[in-house]
Structure 1
Amino acid sequence: MKELRLLRRILKRPRRVARARRGAPRIRRLAPAAWLAAPLLAALLLPLAVVPLRGGGQQPAPPAVPQATAAPAPPGTAAAEAPQPEVSVYLSQSGQIETLPLEEYVSGVLAAEMPADFELEALKAQAVAARTFIARRLLAGDHSGVPVPEADVSDTVSHQAYISQAVLERDFASGSKRAGLAKLRRAVLETRGIIMTYKGQPITASFFASSGGYTENSEDYWNAEVPYLRSVASPWEREITPNLAVTYTFSNSELRSKLGLTARELPAAANLAASGKALQVSSSSAGLPAEVISLTAGHRIKKISIGGTVFTGREVREKLGLRSSQFTWKRKDGKVLITTYGNGHGVGMSQWGANGMAKQGSTATQILKHYYSGVSFTGISTLLKK
């Protein structure tokens, strides 16, 4: 009840919303002392960790879901709708705060997160995911991860990437880009007000760029089991994702440095030489041996032993700056070659997978039902009536 009262207060701001619709979004500049003094708030329990963008295999499409489930209100009824909640976005480059209506914010996120030449149904699926993410934060009064308390969210991938309205109008001002912006806004309009819920509450709508064939269970990345963030097959992006497989080359010394390993952790050829001094094990002879201990349900590295030290796949990915924790490891010419598959943490919706599904005729509803297990679709206005 407390959360719903909070959301009602957020939504009951018709005068401010009306001003935002008539003119440009309101921009506030923060005094440097104010935001420098503000403490960083706690990170999300399940951070979004979005990876910016830029199929083969036979996978049965999910059961058809009536489009009425996620159908938007007809455009002619927009004026009669309840006022939209406002979103205050911290613009990391300028230190300003942009405050604007929810649907305009979703347009800015969609432009930042997906290319306009993606299929319309994939864009609609992304719009619903983006709207669900911010609705969950607004409902909970969550300002975590934002450098200033006045903002609801930042414009970075720590939350959702976002392009400000001024930049959107400037960079999409002419030619094909103008048509692309119209397509993005159509995707937002056709899903207007719709969010995903689980047991009546907005979900954590995490998404990422592309998988290597399967998504991840949430607990294999965040150590928290979420019933709607389950591992599912995602073969659709295999034939359409650019740079699906990327190979990184490391020397043994680079790996030791990045992984925080020392020579003491490497297997020694012998304990003592005849002179009584310890033998020096060279990088080329030590070789940093690696052995995969276990895999996740999403076919990524769960645990791996490197030079005798056990790491999680996520740790290796983050320490080495890899695109994915689904990787292979081999040695060649005294170097270690690590090849990754896919791009991102792997939890939730694959953006390239969504585009692949849409190319094969899946609707936004079917895409979302596939990547988020057991969710329902709800209008924000429905939550207000509870």
Structure 2
Amino acid sequence: MHKGMILILAVLIGVMVAVPAALVSLDRNDPSLSSIRVDGGSSAASLDSGPGVKVYLSREKKVETFPMERYIRGVVAAEMPVNFHPEALKAQALAARTYIVDRLSRGDFSDMAKWGKKAGKANVSDTVNHQVFLTDKQLKEQWGDDYETYSALINQAVVETAGQVIQYQGKPIYAAFFSTSNGKTENSEDYFAEEYPYLRSVPSPWDEASPKYRDRKQFAVADFVDKISRSTGKQVAVEAFTGGGWLRVTQRTAGGSADKVQVGDQVFTGRQIREALHLSSADFTFRLSQGTVTVETKGYGHGVGMSQWGANFMAKQGKSAKEIIRHYYRGVEIGSMDSYLKKE
């Protein structure tokens, strides 16, 4: 073959190889092709992406800033059992990210002052007052030899949902979650002060298989009354009552929890009784016998929003993270957090 023809052919082959490679490179740099989606995350996602979150570490008594997705990793690892189904872990990541994005977008961190001057510079604490968060150092201590295995599971859930939040009518929701329901979740106003249209009572029958579904506590009558009086500031008198008439649940919520409770001459909410006695939930019943009050509860937690054990059982039955979210938060969609936060 003529040398000139060989040269031309070589150039053509080079162009044929180079053009597709260039197109692939351009595709990777095209933001529209890295769109966030609930079933695959962002193609450019990493644990070090997203705006910074200033966390008050209560044990160390200091404020440290973490990239958004690394913060979500620490929350999911702390708030949900790591051996839960991957789709449940993804649902937890969505709820955790939505919580902090909503908080950051509102910009009100006045509640941080309770931890002192240093905490006043933070966006959130690592406690149950907000979302429990564990640093990488704490996770290594907790997981030990399983650190790499467990990290991979949590990282996958975070990266595959990176940048995504749960929204209702274009705004991030109050993504409440808890451990185990009594078979139903609660309307938000039946436990919290505010009514949210997406936090409605829904069935969660799977929770009965949770190891936290049932609990029981016993109190001497005098101790029982004293704990309630001390916690609520309302003095309870039972002397005028006979038998068990001084103690009963008089009204229940749509989710089946105690709403109004008669204790002697006082009426309390189910939440007040739960908090005074440190009960697992507000769905309780009483039994009186020989000066002892036995309190039996169903469920674990406040009961509003997503049940974590319910999410895990749903996932095991083949439900996706998106389906889980839409079951526990009514009328919501999944969207990008970029609409609410400025990138740093």
Matched with 1:235 is 205
Matched, 1:313 2:270: yes
- Distance (Å, rounded) in 2 between the aligned partners of 1:158 and 1:152: 12
1:70 to 38, 47, 71: 38
| Distance across 2 between alignment mates of 1:263 and 1:369 | 43
> Residue 288 of structure 1: CA displacement?
6.8
- Where does residue 139 of structure 2 map in the other structure? 168
Match of 1:121 in 2: 87
Q: In the aligned structure 1, how far is the partner of 2:87 from the partner of 2:70?
A: 19
Tell me the matched-pair count: 298
Deviation at 1:90, TM superposition (A): 0.2
Measured at CA, do residues 290 and 72 of structure 1 come closer, stay the same or move farther in structure 2, by a change above 3 Å?
same
Matched residue SS, 2:185: coil
Unmatched runs of 5 consecutive residues or more in structure 1: 1-67, 269-284
**Residues 105 and 384 of structure 1: CA distance in aligned 2, closer, same or farther (over 3 Å):** closer
| Change in CA separation of 1:286 and 1:134 when aligned onto 2, cut-off 3 Å | same
Cα RMSD between the aligned structures? 2.2
Greater Rg over alpha carbons, structure: 2
Is residue 294–residue 303 contact of structure 1 (8 Å, CA) maintained in 2?
A: yes
Deviation at 1:222, TM superposition (A): 1.3
In the alignment, the residues of structure 2 paired with residue 213 and residue 347 of structure 1 have an alpha-carbon distance, to the nearest angstrom, of 12
Alignment of 1:258-297 (within 5 A): 258-260=227-229, 264-267=237-240, 289-297=246-254
What TM-score comes out, normalization by structure 1 length?
A: 0.73
User: Equivalent of 1:211, from 181, 185, 202?
Assistant: 181
> Equivalent of 1:249, from 218, 240, 254?
218
Q: Residue type matched to 1:84 in 2? A: G
Q: Give matches, 1:174-213, under 5 Å.
A: 174=145, 176-213=146-183
Task: Tell me by how many angstroms 1:287 deviates.
Answer: 5.5
Going from structure 1 to structure 2, the CA distance change for 1:83 and 1:106 (only over 3 Å counts) comes to closer
For the residue of structure 1 that corresponds to 2:293, the secondary structure is strand
Shift of 1:265: 4.4
Distance in 2 (alpha carbons) for counterparts of 1:297 and 1:181:
39
Alpha-carbon separation, structure 1, partners of 2:65 and 2:211: 35
Partner of 1:54: none
Output the CA distance in 2 between the equivalents of 1:210 and 1:311.
23
Q: Percent identity?
A: 44
- What is the alpha-carbon distance in structure 2 between the residues aligned to residue 329 and residue 265 of structure 1? 16
Does the CA-based 8 Å contact 2:238-2:246 persist in structure 1? no
CA distance in 1, matches of 2:315, 2:254: 25
Structure 1 residue 378, shift from structure 2 partner: 0.5
Q: Does 1:347 align with 2:304?
A: yes
TM-score by length of 2: 0.81
- 1:223 Cα deviation (Å)? 2.4
Counterpart Cα distance in 1 of 2:297 and 2:139: 33
Deviation at 1:259, TM superposition (A): 1.6
* TM superposition shift of 1:166: 2.3
More helix, by proportion: 2
CA contact (8 A) 2:93 2:158 kept: yes
The aligned residue for residue 94 of structure 1 is: 60
2:196 pairs, out of 218, 226, 229, with: 226
3-state SS, counterpart of residue 374 of structure 1: coil
CA distance in 2: counterparts of 1:302 and 1:337, whole angstroms: 19
1:328–1:164 Cα change, 3 Å: same
